[in-house]
Amino acid sequence: MTAFVKGILSNFVSKTLVAVIGLLTVILVSRYLGPEGRGEIGLFMSSVALLQLFCDFGNSTAIINLSYKYAQRRLWNSSLLWITGVCLLSLPILVFTQLPYKYFIAPAALLLSVVNLHHLLLMGKQEVHKRNISLLVVPVLLLIGFFLSGLLGDYHSRNYILAFFLALLISVMVSYRMVQSHLKFGDSTFVFEPEILRSGVWIQSAQAIQFLNYRLNFFLVAFFISEAALGVYNNAVILCESIWILGHSMAQMQHMKILNTVGESQHFKITEKIMTINFFGTLLAMLLMMLLPTDFWSFLFGNGFEEVRPLFLNLASGVLAFSVTNIISHGLHAANKFKTILVCNLIGLICGGISALVLIPENGIQGAANAWSIGLSCSMTAFIFVYYWQNIGHYNVRWHIYIAAFSLVAAFCSLFLSKLVMHLPVYDWANETFALELCLFLVVFFSTYFIINLLTSGRQKLHSSNFQS
């Protein structure tokens, strides 16, 4: 077994464990705090993640690339100064908000960013196994802490926050211990390295936009509807995002593999293989999750979460779209094409944001789910077009007319099948969401078949050019 495959398996196992433990925590919170308590915690965690985005402008994945160039102590010091400054500056702003547990948001973002910094440094030294072990600390301790707080007293959202802080503090110590051997003091120990910001600004801007593609609807649902509705929507989205575990695991190893491989044709082959496996793996996992009955999810989360399962149909196209986007994005990232990533993500944010403002007030959490899928699908379409053009450089119009016709048939078949699986009216042409779902499935299936043509013709083009050279 090659080191590349071992790395993928290690990432997949650790992320699967993190997801399973996280799901157990979600179940515990949902059953004992209900939709409103789940929504309150979801809003707090999204606020922490939003602040962490600003911290990550000086704490981005650029640190992995810079680890080959600078001493890790220098990177650690520079990033820590930036993180601390951002969190301190955010305190006066957070005081005037109405967010739940607003005084805990900045400290939580600080600790979470420090843990992330240690993980990036470990990845820079290719110590994937240590990073994967450290990833388990926070979810395991959070689950244990919240569970014990309920046994000893009562289940309350404040106990969740306290357990989260305790888990973060221990995680900071554990991750620092793992990276400590690389943090050797030297002449440049206390020199701020501005290249962290120069390299990180494009990367993190793209990731910030991608985060808003995921989480903007959380804030809009809480604003337009209620925290209880956010609790239901939050659970549905988190379940769908858990399907991306395989893709995230492979994408991280894809990034490192490309950095250590010479030749654009080889980079294309790596991305091609991983993208194909990830898409069909995601499709299978999504279908299996949609087959589970409503009673199962009601039993799992408790009363008030009956609407979780119907949302899967609205979210499915977004899940499939990101399975493609994620791999292409990491390929572009490894090639330092950060501006391209930013523009493609921005297209998705604009389309998804406009859709959310229109659909959420009219259709509630189903509108939020449709807007989420619209944004991710539009982003995927932009990524595919750019990636195709950069790697092949030609466009066969006639061939793609055939592709569009084939995809149209596939889209109708998949839509009717999904309606039957979800026990929804198949011929309800007056339903507003029907047209939206149809458009989303057209985008996904057209783009999927487009990828198949891209990969086959792209490989032939690259091989031909390499042979001629």
Identify the band that residue 468 occupies on the pLDDT scale cut at 50, 70 and 90: very low
* CA pair distance 402, 152, nearest whole angstrom: 65
Identify the band that residue 467 occupies on the pLDDT scale cut at 50, 70 and 90: very low
- Mean pLDDT estimate for the chain: 77
**430, pLDDT greater than 50:** no
**415, pLDDT greater than 70:** no
Residue 264 carries which side chain, given as an amino acid letter?
Answer: E
- Sequence-separated (6 or more) residues with CB below 8 Å from residue 302: 30, 31, 34
**262, pLDDT greater than 70:** no
Contact 372, 365 (CB under 8 A): no
Per DSSP, helices labelled H in 308-337 are 308-334
pLDDT of residue 459: 43
**293, pLDDT greater than 70:** yes
Is the pLDDT higher at 110 or at 377?
110
Identify the band that residue 267 occupies on the pLDDT scale cut at 50, 70 and 90: low
pLDDT of residue 41: 92
pLDDT of residue 461: 46
* CA pair distance 445, 434, nearest whole angstrom: 16
pLDDT of residue 106: 94
pLDDT of residue 205: 81
Is the pLDDT higher at 301 or at 270?
301
With a pLDDT cut of 70, the percent of the chain lying above it is 73
Identify the band that residue 174 occupies on the pLDDT scale cut at 50, 70 and 90: very high
Per DSSP, helices labelled H in 225-337 are 227-241, 245-259, 264-291, 294-301, 308-334
Highest mean pLDDT: which range of 257-266, 374-383, 439-448 = 374-383
* CA pair distance 314, 370, nearest whole angstrom: 5
pLDDT of residue 426: 42
* Average pLDDT of the residues in 2-24: 74
* Average pLDDT of the residues in 15-40: 88
Is the pLDDT higher at 50 or at 447?
50
pLDDT of residue 128: 77
**440, pLDDT greater than 80:** no
**466, pLDDT greater than 50:** no
**Residue 430 token pair:** 């007056």
pLDDT of residue 413: 53
pLDDT of residue 20: 87
* CA pair distance 129, 165, nearest whole angstrom: 24
Task: Mean pLDDT check: name the lowest of 35-49, 191-205, 345-359, 395-409.
Answer: 395-409
* Average pLDDT of the residues in 56-62: 78
Q: What DSSP character marks residue 57?
A: G
What pTM was estimated for this model as a whole?
A: 0.72
Counts for the chain of helices (H) and strands (E), in that order? 16, 0
By the 10 Å C-beta count (0-12 exposed, 13-18 middle, 19+ buried), 198 is classed as: exposed
Nearest to 142 by CA among 15, 21, 20, 231: 21
Task: Mean pLDDT check: name the lowest of 186-190, 239-243, 275-279.
Answer: 186-190
**Residue 57 token pair:** 């402008």
Task: Mean pLDDT check: name the lowest of 75-84, 197-206, 236-245, 452-461.
Answer: 452-461
**181, pLDDT greater than 60:** yes
Task: Mean pLDDT check: name the lowest of 19-23, 159-163, 198-202, 408-412.
Answer: 408-412
Helix or strand run (H / E) with residue 348: helix 338-391
* Average pLDDT of the residues in 392-416: 50
pLDDT of residue 56: 84
Identify the band that residue 2 occupies on the pLDDT scale cut at 50, 70 and 90: low
**285, pLDDT greater than 90:** no
Residue 101 gets the label, from left (phi > 0), alpha (psi -120 to 50) or beta, of left
Identify the band that residue 114 occupies on the pLDDT scale cut at 50, 70 and 90: very high
Contact 324, 383 (CB under 8 A): yes
Highest mean pLDDT: which range of 215-224, 327-336, 383-392 = 215-224
* Average pLDDT of the residues in 452-461: 49
pLDDT of residue 305: 84
Give tens-digit pLDDT for 323-333: 888 888 877 77
